[in-house]
Structure 1
């Protein structure tokens, strides 16, 4: 079907049929459905008629080849023009084979593996009938109280942009029309959903346009530049207007300025939610504001279905806007080749073979190991020796709750537990198992049993953390410490004097007081996915050397939040040479710095940095500066190091961050081996949004940092020179 044939089809449609294409409903509304689908919002009573359903454009949260084929078949039998349905679902970090949560994947700094994870998720989803994945989520996150930080890749706009592109390219591959093992991707949540006040889900966002463009928009733009077919609106307000009805954000910026002509979809119920937001008196006004803002698909409310026809008839909405929305939806269906292949890649037989394939789980295992961050390793407690007797204690010792939120159709019971994995490394006599406590409760008998197990062992492995229901959508928390029961267990076990290795399973950075001081070694495993237990065992016994680096800072305590590495300086910075003792920007009861900063992560070996050099002290517009540094493996294990480059603009037209990540390189070194790492610094890396929102650089002095994380690095200065000092 060509553009002309799409317009021909459009001309055959009634206004009611056009409006129905803009309606997305969950599976239970359709004939042939045997499942409830993914319910991610309130199931309000919806005044939906049979005609609405027969002419609707897309289905939410349904998957499984038999289910999709059944619904599509019955739909095509009754739809007057034979327009197929689009099937969309949240395939966030895996379909059946579950990978680590995205925040963990961000800690891998491995774009190739991230892309592979999306390719596998797409392959499994596509054969199960899914056409569109509501991913990637590229919301920049700075507040770990927000439960959905687990769905982002972190606090840095550059790193988020790279991961966003990798996920899009993995989901969509080269050609959606011919490649039925791919799905269309939908970047979310546009825009700045991660900046919700107080870290409280669905809450207000109030930031300047310059900060929006500087920090929050780049990753969305990067995903669209990679070919992302869809955008999902955010629940929050932007500049006092809910995103779903925000014409300046959606039509003026997204469509006109950026040139996005793909499908724009609301999040669950977000059109009707403009009423409680206070910008629409009723559903009719909400529908009007959404269509004027450029919204194509309304998810799980019926404001369009009930009121758009009347708005068109009354001249309040131009029919052209409705036609444009329908054309965008039909065009996506054409790109997916649904008019020729309405069942696309869905195959009951192939689904049995492909979904959850062992090769897919191997990639999940590799990515889980590369996403686990070694935060502490005193006295080289890790790696463990197979001859050591291990006491495995804690609520996650044999827990299947390793998949985390948004785990597709993954089955918890199919995850590899830590206990099962350790049994493959140890003899039965060298593994002692004790629960110690549940997630939030502890009994004296549990504690006594745990202390006895610890006394019998050479090393204690504590498996602790949050349940998956403690993070994710609508799961914001003000207390981001481990539950008190687990803190009591950790303190008591540490008093036995046995070396303690603590493994954390969680979906957000935590306040680790009560954990760090009682742990000799500390591994941040996040929710590691289907092969989590095996990946952690590989790390514990040194089959794999940890290499992950944090993509989101861990606060010293929750009172610092938001705390992030690329912050602005103040006029009275703590530690300045001429600062007074008291009247500086600091806390009376806490350091300013996070407990573990962005980019931090240890290895079983050690890396030394020296011979940092810049090829020139002056950078001109048509040249580049080469930065080089030697990195040596001074330890006794082979290992990977992620070498990071940051730049600070010393004096800008407006205040600039203390550091900004601009590049990174992963290197592998054998013991005693060294390599010189080279970076290129160009003028375009120094650009930012000025007061008038122009994107340019300033002539002047810059500091470049290269090192192992955002705090530990070598630095030198260079100057950017321009003719007449003009901006570019």
Structure 2
């Protein structure tokens, strides 16, 4: 019965494909996936008696209710019953293999609706077509384009009372649809739009494609640690290719908020704490999602979110207040948006927070004056989920009618999910907003629909035959594994890694494998878990995620030498779990502790006051470490964690984040030395939660802590711990050793219009080939406003063979010294500067120069 099984059952709501994956180590495990609803289920308690499997799992969508499985099997059948809350008892008659996609039967049905040979329209032709259509539309019909409706009753917040999407679309009261992940649903709703709605205007189909569609890549915080723009761009291009095959044309991503507080769950979706690196990654993501042209059917619209300051939520609590200066807004939080807009992003989404006392969704100063007028953005501005209604909840206005007015005054084009914009016709009739404002919004929406080719070929993105070809494609999985390798950060290593001699020596082990065969104990809730994808993904292939156990087994470590014990749950103890883990660990030469966070502990609405590992896992870790064995901590998580105890007590720490579909294989590649880790942190790891926020590009105080004054009292420091993070921004180790020497500047004075060249020699002084991220920082020593102690302004990824050295050169120009200050705007001031170069933001060499 081991392996993949599939069946299709009819439910009162839909036809449902169910897949089962049965695996066995010391005992059996069962993973279940469904299509079109991407609901991954791992049966928690599974018993096998004879040819029967019985088990239970919690239904996360119905708290307090269980999923019940009762199956039997023979050589070619898996049959019985599956009871799922909301769907009832489902009879199961499953056959071997993954089976056909549900959408395959749609391929022939959709062919007559497609159009061939549609000519590309010029910008002028699009403009004329849009104006002609606007002139035929009533006020209500134009406002109808400004609504985005959910494809189902599923809600990401408070329930929205409204008509069903079918009715709204047929009546022309919706211009876009959120979350129709099933291509059959896309086809169904698009048919209503083009056959029944006024003017037959096609719909936009939107979804959150954050780090993959069906093939899942590392979470964005992880892939930012690769510092590899080409690989990130490729990941987004693959995600667009897979998503567009299912009808998605408009992405609610990338999230490019700068994040300085790891308590905030949404740090997992961004690129960390640095605005310069965040800008480069924003551009790479836009380029990947949008490609060379939005008219290409394998690209999707990129939406920059969340404009702006969302990452500065007080206390790291989601949706909370933001109170920052305009200088901080512009110098820290704005640069990634500037880079994304320059890359041509077609859309921007507002932030949930307030800025200077006004919810961003209602802020004319931010969305019209800054985003549109100053930055020149002429694309679609979409509200985040329910953000227009929340203008009332914030306390800015009394009712949703006034909220709708403020949002339109701020040039909001699309209201997501809620229906405040239903007040717009009355507001126009009362003269409180103008029809010209409505025309502007409808014009932008219709222009995008023409640019995407939807107005000429509404079904061009309904391509079930491409789903079969693209989803979970072998080349996509290969790209996911390679980016996952690059995203892993080695935080500590006393020499226990790589595990040199644990394979079989027959090509399945690392390069040093000789088959001598030590024993490895793999212990912890993530030792054989498929919960490695992270938040904000909707893959129907979650049950095929490669676990760490599978990754190590596939490296040639035999099951006799790969000792396994779960030990505990993510947040719960297991009766006898620690005892079983210790029994396995006692027999091993090295222990891999696979600990971390579950996917629902990171992402939206997943803020944490404490970012230590849960108590159940800490008890397991302390018991294992007490044995005195060599211990490697392998982390699965979506944010920086407090690791001070582990830094002091284990031999190695490997930060793997949530790595996606090929996570287990990528982690195993690093552990056995088939891949030399090269990732560098893009968020500082605090030594203690009480330090937060802790980030590298902070300001000096009037009483800064130095080595010389460390023993004094009236200094900016803690009584009970360090100021510095445990692991700083840019930090990451390798299995080899890099040395930096001979920092040189070609001049000590830089004038406007000139460039200053900085060079340094980097040597691989270790015994392995490796890759290093050489980082350049600049400090503006004196300014009209105080400046950070250092700011990242360049980096170079360098591959060096063992014993090899290379000179790395950077070029500094006046633009690298530019910042924004009140009353002046953007400027580079004359004065003294320090340039730093090194392997991270802390361990650097320095030299001075002057500008002006």
Larger helix percent? 1
Q: C-alpha distance in 2, partners of 1:622/1:332? A: 39
Is the counterpart of residue 21 in structure 1 residue 145 in structure 2?
A: yes
Aligned with residue 113 of structure 1, among 189, 212, 231: 231
* Helix, strand or coil at the partner of 1:604: coil
The answer to whether the 8 A contact 2:149-2:165 is kept is no
Q: C-alpha distance in 2, partners of 1:398/1:47? A: 44
Q: C-alpha distance in 2, partners of 1:131/1:474? A: 26
For residues 413-462 of structure 1, give each alpha carbon's deviation from its aligned partner in whole angstroms, at most 9, with x where no partner exists: 12100011111111222111111111112245111111111110110011
Corresponding residue for residue 464 of structure 2? 348
Q: C-alpha distance in 2, partners of 1:311/1:341? A: 35
The answer to whether the 8 A contact 2:323-2:355 is kept is yes
Corresponding residue for residue 601 of structure 1? 732
Corresponding residue for residue 525 of structure 1? 656
Corresponding residue for residue 277 of structure 2? 159
Q: C-alpha distance in 1, partners of 2:763/2:166? A: 69
The answer to whether the 8 A contact 2:166-2:189 is kept is no
Q: C-alpha distance in 2, partners of 1:435/1:93? A: 28
For residues 575-607 of structure 1, give each alpha carbon's deviation from its aligned partner in whole angstroms, at most 9, with x where no partner exists: 165787111000001100000000000000000
TM-superposed CA distance for 1:356, in Å, is 1.1
Q: Which moved more, 1:371-380 or 1:148-157?
A: 371-380
Q: Which has the higher contact order (CA 8 A, sep 6+)?
A: 1
Is the counterpart of residue 624 in structure 1 residue 755 in structure 2?
A: yes
Aligned pairs (5 A) from 1:347-426: 347-386=463-502, 387-425=517-555, 426=557
Is the counterpart of residue 137 in structure 1 residue 255 in structure 2?
A: yes
Q: C-alpha distance in 2, partners of 1:448/1:533? A: 25
Aligned pairs (5 A) from 1:62-101: 62-101=180-219
Aligned pairs (5 A) from 1:215-254: 215-254=332-371
* Helix, strand or coil at the partner of 2:560: helix
TM-superposed CA distance for 1:47, in Å, is 6.2
TM-superposed CA distance for 1:80, in Å, is 2.2
The answer to whether the 8 A contact 1:607-1:632 is kept is yes
Is the counterpart of residue 290 in structure 1 residue 407 in structure 2?
A: yes
TM-superposed CA distance for 1:312, in Å, is 0.2
Q: Which runs of 5+ in 2 are unaligned?
A: 1-124, 503-516
TM-superposed CA distance for 1:350, in Å, is 1.6
Corresponding residue for residue 31 of structure 1? none
For residues 322-350 of structure 1, give each alpha carbon's deviation from its aligned partner in whole angstroms, at most 9, with x where no partner exists: 00000000001011000111112321112
* Helix, strand or coil at the partner of 2:289: helix
The answer to whether the 8 A contact 1:611-1:630 is kept is yes
Q: C-alpha distance in 2, partners of 1:210/1:693? A: 11
Q: C-alpha distance in 2, partners of 1:261/1:440? A: 47
Is the counterpart of residue 2 in structure 1 residue 126 in structure 2?
A: yes
Corresponding residue for residue 567 of structure 1? 698
Corresponding residue for residue 102 of structure 2? none
Corresponding residue for residue 136 of structure 2? 12
The answer to whether the 8 A contact 1:97-1:410 is kept is no
Q: C-alpha distance in 1, partners of 2:472/2:847? A: 50
Q: C-alpha distance in 2, partners of 1:180/1:581? A: 65
Q: Which runs of 5+ in 1 are unaligned?
A: 29-35, 722-728
Q: Which moved more, 1:427-436 or 1:671-680?
A: 427-436
The answer to whether the 8 A contact 1:490-1:518 is kept is no
Corresponding residue for residue 243 of structure 2? 125
Is the counterpart of residue 214 in structure 1 residue 344 in structure 2?
A: no
Is the alpha carbon distance of 1:346 and 1:48 closer, same or farther for their aligned partners in structure 2, counting shifts above 3 Å? closer
* Helix, strand or coil at the partner of 1:116: helix
Aligned with residue 472 of structure 1, among 603, 606, 609: 603
Q: Which moved more, 1:641-650 or 1:69-78?
A: 69-78
Q: C-alpha distance in 2, partners of 1:325/1:541? A: 56
Aligned pairs (5 A) from 1:628-643: 628-643=759-774
Q: C-alpha distance in 2, partners of 1:63/1:293? A: 31
Corresponding residue for residue 633 of structure 2? 502
TM-superposed CA distance for 1:496, in Å, is 1.1
Q: Which moved more, 1:335-344 or 1:575-584?
A: 575-584
Is the counterpart of residue 687 in structure 1 residue 818 in structure 2?
A: yes
Q: C-alpha distance in 2, partners of 1:196/1:384? A: 45
Query: 4+ runs of 1 displaced by more than 6 Å?
Result: 47-51
Q: Which moved more, 1:392-401 or 1:616-625?
A: 616-625
Corresponding residue for residue 260 of structure 1? 377
* Helix, strand or coil at the partner of 1:227: coil
Q: C-alpha distance in 1, partners of 2:293/2:395? A: 42
Q: C-alpha distance in 2, partners of 1:653/1:575? A: 24
Corresponding residue for residue 325 of structure 1? 441
TM-superposed CA distance for 1:385, in Å, is 2.4
The answer to whether the 8 A contact 1:196-1:203 is kept is yes
Corresponding residue for residue 175 of structure 1? 293
* Helix, strand or coil at the partner of 1:613: strand
Is the counterpart of residue 670 in structure 1 residue 801 in structure 2?
A: yes
For residues 1-41 of structure 1, give each alpha carbon's deviation from its aligned partner in whole angstroms, at most 9, with x where no partner exists: 5211111101111111111110000012xxxxxxx56x422
* Helix, strand or coil at the partner of 1:429: coil
Q: C-alpha distance in 1, partners of 2:200/2:586? A: 70
Aligned pairs (5 A) from 1:703-722: 703-721=834-852
Is the alpha carbon distance of 1:430 and 1:376 closer, same or farther for their aligned partners in structure 2, counting shifts above 3 Å? same
Q: C-alpha distance in 1, partners of 2:711/2:724? A: 19
Is the counterpart of residue 437 in structure 1 residue 555 in structure 2?
A: no
The answer to whether the 8 A contact 2:644-2:726 is kept is no
Q: C-alpha distance in 2, partners of 1:172/1:353? A: 21
Aligned with residue 660 of structure 1, among 791, 798, 816: 791
The answer to whether the 8 A contact 1:383-1:604 is kept is no
Corresponding residue for residue 271 of structure 1? 388
Is the alpha carbon distance of 1:696 and 1:507 closer, same or farther for their aligned partners in structure 2, counting shifts above 3 Å? same
Is the counterpart of residue 316 in structure 1 residue 432 in structure 2?
A: yes
Q: C-alpha distance in 2, partners of 1:704/1:410? A: 48
Q: Which moved more, 1:499-508 or 1:620-629?
A: 620-629
TM-superposed CA distance for 1:65, in Å, is 2.4
| TM-score under structure 1 length normalisation | 0.96
The answer to whether the 8 A contact 2:176-2:203 is kept is yes
The answer to whether the 8 A contact 1:451-1:493 is kept is yes
| TM-score under structure 2 length normalisation | 0.82
For residues 554-584 of structure 1, give each alpha carbon's deviation from its aligned partner in whole angstroms, at most 9, with x where no partner exists: 0111101000000000110011657871110
What is the aligned residue count? 711
Larger strand percent? 2
TM-superposed CA distance for 1:64, in Å, is 2.9
